[in-house]
Chains A and B, each alone.
Chain A
Amino acid sequence: MKIIVILKQVPDSETKIKVKGDGSGIETDGIKYVISPYDEYAVEEALKLKEKAGGDSTVTVVSAGPDRTVESIRTALAMGADAAVHVNDPALEGADSLGVARALAKAIQDNGFDIIFAGKQGIDQDNSQVPSAVAELLDIPQVNIIAKFEITEDKSKATVSRRIEGGEETIETSLPALFGCEKGLNEPRYASLPGIMKAKKKPVKTVDLAGLGLDAGEVGAAGSHVKILKWIPLPERQAGKILQGMETAEASKELVRLLREEAKVI
């Protein structure tokens, strides 16, 4: 089975994000980058499937991003993935979700695939668009936000479930298909030391947009349908007001008045 994982490198959730002074982006100095956590579930599910499917099954990681992305790709290889395709093209900086999805879909198509796992969303911009767009471009079914995954013995169908309000939705789909992975799907393994040492020797194919036969003017920033105009830092939180030296009844009245007249929330 050719198992594909779509992986995105994002700033660590503990990183303090600072917006550049001119609002053109974020300060990238000192940012620690990691695999987007939902993508870790995708890697783990792919590895579990490979172990189960056995034979000549392979897990290939496909990721778009600048040079630094290799480190996250290597982590996935250290977890146990077999190979990777790294789409690295400066034109992708500032590309929209559709552009990135086009690049990834082409890379996946060139590689061949039987099943695709992705995180349900990247935890940086939270657009949640790339996996669905990739599935559409490849013209295969997709189920997003899956919390359980099972595959039939003959590997022609998968049964997955999604948590919905008040219950669980079970969906059966034919394969190939794309699945967006949710927290709780599995417990991602750690990159083991033997895995880390083996990862160095695993193939990482680097391609640019031209190599994929794509037009940078269409797929890259230049062809983007979405343009980020400005980045604005969150306004600093105002100091709170504490009502002191009043009886409870009086303070309550004052609180309601302030919420109504000053904060204008009631």
Chain B
Amino acid sequence: MFELDETQRSLEQAVRAWCEKNLAPTVPALEKGETLPFDLLKTLGRDLGIAQMLVAEAERRLARLRSGEANAGAAGEADTREGRGLGGDPMLSSVLLKEISRVSPGVALTLISTLGCAMAIVAQGSAGAIERYAIPVLSFDKVGAWALTEPGAGSDAFGGMRATAAVHEDRIVLSGQKTFISNAPFADVFVVYARVILDDGPGPVRGVVVERGTPGLETGPPLRKMGMHDAPTGEVFLQDCAVPRENLLGSVVREPSARGGAALETLNLERAVMPAMCLGIIERCVEESVRYAKVREQFGRPIAEFQAIAFKLARMALSLENARNLVFKLAWAQREGKLDARLASLAKLYCAEEAVRVALEAIQIHGGAGYMAELPLEKLARDAKMFEIGGGTNEIQLQTIARSLLG
């Protein structure tokens, strides 16, 4: 259970080979914004058969929904058997994301953002929404974005949410503003989270599917940021943006617990995949550092022979081992249906903190060379910082863990 099985190992090999050949040479252009990651993702989806699998899974869900359409309300309930990712094994998604993140965490972020949008639609959308919006995103023909954060609603994403979805008989009218949304500047399909407004007042927060081109939807240009330069991030503006009623994900019924509901589930899933991305950063940084420390000579010997460096490497190996174990545990928990907010937060917090620390240590071991953009380390460090913020800050993870302890 603490080792990849043959299937997972084969995928690891295939993705690594793919990334070395296709992704690594493109990273400099991606970093400079000279090219966008979406065509590359399409190639990835095609070459590794991932698009084909994702579409097939969505089509199975679609067929079930259609055959059971007589059973009213079926569309609103998430299928518990699904959401385990590729091939029904969450570890396969982890391996995929880890491998991409070894080269570019930003491209991995773009991937989970586009797929996160589609998966939210597949899990809770109507048959029509799955067919029209989710499948073209899963086949990588269209780009998806998942929009929760607002200028005034970051950590307090649900409590502070101001975006509204007014429910009418045949349509939903959205208003509000979203920010820091991955893929937003170029996305074709958006799942926008907003508070449902009913006749008798505010209802639950729900996702609503909006297509680019819908009057009232606008996006801003890519925002400049510290890292993740290869993952375009931007704002979404909604003003009296009307979409068909069937674009609503889930029901408008208020739940007993007022918190995020389905959006929170997607957020947990997001937290559950980010550790794998952090693991990619840690693994790469450890490998590069060990290799370098053995060949780089100062004062007449390899720097690995200095305890100051050797002990750094030992601590980095410790982080790697722990992060890897957490990723294995997350996959196990997902398979067993035991993934809860506590574990997702705990793993994300640890892996994000260690990714930042290990990446900075890797730079330190490489010295001046590590600080240069010629090596991948400074990018990995900049990208790593995002994981301490996106998908819930470290502080929010701590609060979630504490709440699980204290009730």
Contacts and interface: CB of A to CB of B under 8 A. Distances in A.
A190 B52 CA distance: 14
A2 to B, nearest CB: 26
A190 B53 contact: no
B23 to A, nearest CB: 13
Interface residues of B, number: 17
Chain B contact residues, majority secondary structure? helix
Q: Chain A: interface residue count, which band?
A: 10 to 19
Contact of B14 (A71, A191, A200): A191
B375 to A, nearest CB: 18
A190 B50 CA distance: 12
A193 B50 contact: yes
Interface stretch (B3-11, B126-134, B187-195, B323-331): B3-11
B47 A193 contact: no
Contacts of B10: 74-75, 78, 191, 196, 199
Contacts of A199: 10
B173 to A, nearest CB: 41
A192 interface: yes
B14 A196 contact: yes
A197 interface: yes
Interface in B376-397: none
B7 A195 contact: no
B13 interface: yes
A189 interface: yes
A192 B53 CA distance: 10
Interface string B45-56: 001111011000
A194 B52 contact: yes
A162 B257 CA distance: 72
Nearest to B88: A197
Contacts of A192: 14, 47-50, 52
B84 to A, nearest CB: 14
A203 B305 CA distance: 50
Nearest to A34: B13
A193 B17 contact: no
A258 B13 CA distance: 49
A200 B48 CA distance: 17
Interface in A172-207: 189-197, 199-200
Contacts of B86: 193
B87 interface: yes
A78 B10 CA distance: 9
Given A195-B49, A197-B87, A190 B7 contact: no
A193 B87 contact: yes
B49 A200 contact: no
B27 interface: no
- Of A74, A196, A199, A200, the most chain B CB neighbours within 10 A belong to A196
B18 interface: yes
B62 interface: no
Nearest to B5: A200
Contacts of B6: 71, 74, 200
Contacts of B273: none
B92 interface: yes
Find the residue from A74, A190, A193 having the highest chain B CB count within 10 A. A193
A196 B15 CA distance: 12
Contacts of A193: 11, 14, 48-50, 53, 86-87, 92
Contacts of A74: 6, 10
B302 to A, nearest CB: 15
A190 B87 contact: no
Contacts of A189: 47
A194 B48 CA distance: 8
A191 B53 contact: no
Contacts of B50: 192-193
A78 B47 CA distance: 12
Interface string B1-34: 0000011001101100110000000000000000
Nearest to A77: B10
B191 to A, nearest CB: 25
Contacts of B53: 193-194
Contact of A200 (B7, B11, B13, B47): B7
Given A192-B49, A192-B50, A195-B49, 7 more contacts: A75-B13, A189-B47, A191-B10, A193-B49, A194-B49, A194-B52, A196-B14
30 contacts: A74-B6, A74-B10, A75-B13, A78-B14, A190-B14, A190-B17, A190-B18, A190-B48, A191-B11, A191-B13, A192-B14, A192-B47, A192-B48, A192-B50, A193-B11, A193-B14, A193-B48, A193-B50, A193-B53, A193-B87, A193-B92, A194-B49, A195-B49, A196-B7, A196-B11, A196-B14, A197-B87, A199-B10, A200-B6, A200-B7
